[in-house]
C-alpha cells in the first residue's frame, strides 16, 4: 500500500511528537510507531526535566551548561550544549502553556527539585533545577503532546514497524513499514524522514527499558549509510530494583533519599564529598559496584539499599508515588518503612545516529549528510550528553532537538518537490527480506540468540570493561550474527506476528552491540560511563574525540573519530 506525506516521523515518543507539532498545519505529516503512541517509552521518564528557571533558588543557563559539560566528562559538544541549556526555560514554558501539569510552588509557579550532577555556581552545591509532575513527568508530557497532535489532526499509523529507509542518490525519500495487525507492507513516500525511534536498552540483560527499545531506527539508519556516534557510552542508572531493573527515579535521591551499604554507611559521602548521593549516574553506578566488590553489598549479594524511610508520607505520596508503587508491587517493600534493594540497570544510550544541532543525519567525519534524513531524541547523538548524561537532561534533549529537527525539516521541504522513486517497487527489498526469514528452515530461535547477547553484553560491556574481554566479545557477537541467518519463524501467520519482529529486532540489536563493543575496545581510556579497568584514567591527549562508526556489511564497522567542540569550558579533572 502506498502513501504520500510531506514528512514521515518514525516514533511517537516525545521527540517525534514535538517535531510533529512543530511541522505545522500546512505540512502533511504521518507519525508511524511500532507501539500505540501513548505506549512510547518516553512515558516511563519519571523524575523531571531540567531548566534554569530559578523558581526555587538562583539559577543560570550557564550553570546548567557547565554541569552538562562536566557531566559529559567533557565529551559533549559545547556549542550544542549552549543551545540546549539556553533553550531550556522556553521549552518548559511552552510545555506549561500546552497544558503539562507540573507540580507547583506555594506561590503557583513551577516547582523544581534537585537532581544528580546539577549544581549552583559551577559545582558549589546541589541545586533545584528539575521541573516535575510527581514522578510521572514523562508520562504527562507524552499525554499532553499526543493529545495536542490529536487536536491538530496529525495522522498516526500505530503498530507499524519501520523496515527500511528509501534512499535514492543520497537522498532519503521515504520508509517502508510493516503493519503488525495484518502483515501488509506500506510505503510512505516523503520529502523528509525523521527518525525518533528511541534507545536500545534491551541489548542488556538488566534494563529499565521497554521491550520496544531495540534500537530499530539506529540500526536501520546505520545500514543505510548514516554514521553512529559515541556508541560505547551506555548509561547504567544506579538505582534499578534488584534483579528486575525497574527504574527508581533519581528524584528519590533528589528529594533526600540516600544509598547505604551493608554496614549502614552512606557510602557516597566517601566518593563525592560535595554532592554525595547526587553525584552523576556513571559515578554512582561505579560506586555501588565497588561497594559490592568490596564485600559491602547487602547480605553479601550484588545490591545496596536506597533508603527513603526518613522522607515522610507527604513527600512519598505527593512526589514519589509511582516509584513507591513499583517498590511495593515488585519488591514487596513499603518505602516508608523499609529501604529498597537496588543495583545498576541499563538505562540510556548517550550514543546514536550522528546529527547536527538541527537533526540532520551525518554519514562521516566531514559533516556530510543524507539529504532529507533527520534524527532526534535518544536514537540521535547531537552530542549534548557526551560520555554521560545527567538526569533530567533527556526529556529536555527530546523536546529541544525534536523541535529543532521539526523546524529545520519544515524549512527543507519547502525548498524541494517530492523526490522521484520511479522504477522498482520501493517495498520490494523488504518483501524479499521478510520472505527470506519466513522461509528459513534453520533451527535457531531469536529468543535464544537475544538472551545470549544480553548475557554477554551485561557481563563484559556494562559498567566495568576490560580489553581482553571486549576482544572476545567482538568474536562472540560475530558468531551470534552468523547464527541469525539460521533463525526460523515458527509463526507463519500475518496477524500480530511477533515472531517475525523478534527476529528483525535481534538483528538490529546485534549490529548496535557490535558498535558499542568496538567503541569500548578502541577507546583505551576511561571517560564518563565508559570505564576500562585496564585504562582507568581519562586520556584527553588521545581520546578527547567522538567515536564514529560506519556500517561495513559483513565486516566489523569502520571506526573514525571526530573532534569535540569546546567553547567555554576547558577540560578539567571531574570531581564532585
Partner 1 sequence: MKSTFIIYRYDPAVDTEAHYQQYTLETEPTDKILDCLNRIRWEQDPTLAYRFSCAHGICGSDALVINGRIELACQKLIRDFRTANNFVIEPLPLFNVIKDLVVDLNPFFEKHRHVRPYLISDTEAPERERLQESDNQSFFEPALRCILCASCTAACPISRANPDYFGPAALLRSFRYLFDSRDTATGSRLAQIDSPDGIWGCRTMWWCTDVCPKGIPVTKCLGQIKRLVKEKEKTKT
Question: Is the Cβ of residue 35 or residue 340 nearer to partner 1 in the bound state?
Answer: 35
C-alpha 168 chain-centroid distance: 29
Which residue in the set 15, 31, 92, 398 belongs to the binding site for partner 1 (CB under 8 A)? 92
C-alpha cell at 247: 527504574
**Cβ(18)–Cβ(152) under 8 Å?**
no
Out of 136, 253, 465, 481, the residue judged to bind partner 1 by CB under 8 A: 136
> Is 281 in the active site?
yes
Nearby residues of 185 by Cβ (< 8 Å), 6 or more positions away: 1, 163, 176, 177, 178, 179, 427, 430, 431, 434
- B/e letters for 90-101, b = 16+ CB within 10 Å, e = fewer, are ebbeebeeeebe
Residue 103 as a binder of partner 1 (CB under 8 A): the answer is: yes
Interaction pattern, residues 269-308, with partner 1; x per rule: CB under 8 A: ----------------------------------------
Contact characters 105-124, partner 1, x per CB under 8 A: xxxxxx--------------
Residue closer to partner 1 (CB basis): 246 or 252 = 246
Nearest to 34 by CA among 172, 178, 152, 148: 178
Q: Contacting partner 1 (CB under 8 A), which of 181, 416, 435, 436?
A: 181
Q: Which of 184, 447, 567, 572 binds partner 1 (CB under 8 A)?
A: 447
State how beta strands 464-465 and 531-532 pair: parallel
Find out whether 156 and 33 touch, Cβ atoms under 8 Å: yes
- Is 204 near partner 1 (CB under 8 A)? no
User: Which C-beta is closer to partner 1: that of 183 or that of 571?
Assistant: 183
d(CA 259, CA 239): 9
> Among 281, 360, 532, 574, which one carries the catalytic annotation?
281
Burial of 287: CB neighbours in 10 Å, binned 0-12, 13-18, 19+: buried
133 contacts partner 1 (rule: CB under 8 A): yes
Closer by beta carbon to partner 1, 65 or else 92: 92
Considering beta carbons, is residue 87 or 229 the nearer one to partner 1?
A: 87
Q: Which of 372, 369, 374, 362 is nearest to 549 (CA)?
A: 362
User: With CB under 8 A, what is the number of residues at the site for partner 1?
Assistant: 61
**Using CB under 8 A, which of 134, 272, 376, 434 touches partner 1?**
134
Exactly one of 12, 14, 32, 35 binds partner 1 (CB under 8 A); that residue is 35
Q: Spell out, one character per residue from 470 to 509, where the chain touches partner 1: x when CB under 8 A holds, - when not.
A: -------------------xxx-xxxx-xx--x-------
Rounded to whole angstroms, how far apart are CA atoms 160 and 255?
Answer: 40
Q: By three-state DSSP, how is residue 464 classified?
A: strand
Binding positions for partner 1, 315-334, rule CB under 8 A: 318, 321-322, 325-326, 329-330
Residue 549 CA to residue 225 CA, distance in Å, equals 10
**In angstroms, what is the minimal distance from the CB of 195 to partner 1?**
19
Grid cell, residue 494, equals 500475518
Burial class of residue 19, CB neighbours in 10 A (0-12, 13-18, 19+): buried
Residues forming contacts to partner 1 in the complex (CB under 8 A) are 35-36, 38-41, 43-44, 92-93, 96-99, 101-110, 133-134, 136, 139-140, 143-144, 147-148, 150-151, 181, 210-212, 244, 246-247, 318, 321-322, 325-326, 329-330, 445, 447, 489-491, 493-496, 498-499, 502
Active-site positions read: 281
Amino acid at each position: 500500500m502506498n502513501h504520500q506525506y510531506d514528512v514521515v516521523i518514525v516514533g511517537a515518543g516525545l521527540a517525534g511528537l514535538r517535531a510533529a507539532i512543530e511541522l505545522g498545519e500546512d505540512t502533511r505529516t504521518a507519525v508511524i510507531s511500532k507501539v500505540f503512541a501513548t505506549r512510547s517509552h518516553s512515558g516511563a521518564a519519571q523524575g523531571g526535566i531540567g531548566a534554569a528557571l530559578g523558581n526555587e533558588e538562583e539559577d543560570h543557563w550557564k550553570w546548567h551548561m557547565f554541569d552538562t559539560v562536566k557531566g559529559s566528562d567533557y565529551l559533549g559538544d559545547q556549542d550544542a550544549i549552549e543551545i540546549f541549556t539556553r533553550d531550556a526555560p522556553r521549552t518548559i514554558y511552552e510545555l506549561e502553556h500546552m497544558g503539562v501539569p507540573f507540580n507547583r510552588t506555594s506561590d503557583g509557579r513551577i516547582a523544581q527539585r534537585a537532581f544528580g550532577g546539577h549544581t549552583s555556581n559551577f559545582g558549589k552545591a546541589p541545586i533545584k533545577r528539575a521541573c516535575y509532575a510527581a514522578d510521572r513527568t514523562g508520562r504527562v508530557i507524552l499525554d499532553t503532546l499526543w493529545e495536542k497532535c490529536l487536536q491538530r489532526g496529525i495522522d498516526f499509523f500505530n503498530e507499524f514497524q519501520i523496515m527500511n529507509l528509501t534512499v535514492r542518490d543520497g537522498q532519503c525519500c521515504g520508509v517502508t513499514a510493516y503493519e503488525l495487525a495484518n502483515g501488509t507492507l506500506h510505503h510512505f513516500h516523503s520529502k523528509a524522514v525523521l527518525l525518533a525511534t528511541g534507545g536500545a536498552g534491551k541489548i542488556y540483560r538488566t534494563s529499565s527499558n521497554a521491550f520496544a527499545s531495540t534500537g530499530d531506527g539506529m540500526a536501520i539508519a546505520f545500514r543505510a549509510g548514516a554514521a553512529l556516534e559515541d556508541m560505547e557510552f551506555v548509561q547504567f542508572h544506579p538505582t534499578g530494583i534488584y534483579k528486575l531493573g525497574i527504574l527508581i527515579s533519581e528524584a528519590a535521591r533528589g528529594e533526600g533519599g540516600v544509598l547505604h551499604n551493608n554496614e549502614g554507611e552512606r557510602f557516597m559521602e566517601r566518593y563525592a564529598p560535595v554532592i554525595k548521593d547526587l553525584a552523576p549516574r556513571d559515578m554512582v553506578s561505579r560506586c555501588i559496584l565497588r561497594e559490592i566488590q568490596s564485600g559491602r553489598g547487602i547480605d553479601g549479594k550484588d545490591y545496596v539499599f536506597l533508603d527513603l524511610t526518613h522522607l515522610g508520607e507527604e513527600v512519598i505520596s505527593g512526589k514519589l508515588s509511582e516509584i513507591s508503587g513499583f517498590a511495593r508491587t515488585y519488591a514487596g517493600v513499603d518505602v516508608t518503612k523499609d529501604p529498597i534493594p537496588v543495583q545498576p540497570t541499563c538505562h540510556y544510550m548517550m550514543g546514536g545516529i550522528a546529527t547536527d544541532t538541527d537533526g540532520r543525519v551525518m554519514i562521516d567525519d566531514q559533516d556530510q549528510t543524507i539529504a532529507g534524513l533527520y534524527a532526534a531524541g535518544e536514537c540521535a547523538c547531537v552530542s549534548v550528553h557526551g560520555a554521560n548524561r545527567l538526569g533530567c537532561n533527556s526529556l529536555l534533549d527530546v523536546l529541544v532537538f525534536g523541535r529543532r529537527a521539526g523546524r529545520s525539516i519544515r524549512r527543507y521541504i519547502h525548498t524541494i518537490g517530492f523526490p522521484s522513486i520511479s522504477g522498482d517497487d520501493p517495498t520490494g527489498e523488504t518483501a524479499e527480506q521478510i520472505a527470506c526469514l519466513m522461509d528459513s528452515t534453520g533451527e535457531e530461535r531469536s529468543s535464544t540468540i537475544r538472551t545470549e547477547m544480553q548475557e554477554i553484553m551485561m557481563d563484559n560491556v556494562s559498567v566495568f570493561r576490560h580489553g581482553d574481554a571486549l576482544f572476545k566479545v567482538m568474536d562472540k557477537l560475530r558468531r551470534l550474527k552468523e547464527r541469525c541467518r539460521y533463525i526460523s519463524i515458527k509463526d507463519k501467520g500475518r496477524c500480530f506476528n511477533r515472531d517475525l519482529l523478534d527476529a528483525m529486532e535481534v538483528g538490529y540489536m546485534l549490529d548496535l552491540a557490535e558498535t558499542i563493543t568496538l567503541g569500548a575496545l578502541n577507546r583505551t581510556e576511561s571517560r564518563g560511563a565508559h570505564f576500562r579497568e585496564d585504562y582507568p584514567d581519562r586520556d584527553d591527549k588521545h581520546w578527547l574525540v567522538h567515536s564514529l562508526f560506519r556500517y561495513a556489511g559483513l565486516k566489523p564497522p569502520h571506526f573514525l573519530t571526530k573532534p569535540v567542540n569546546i567553547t567555554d569550558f576547558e577540560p578539567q579533572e571531574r570531581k564532585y
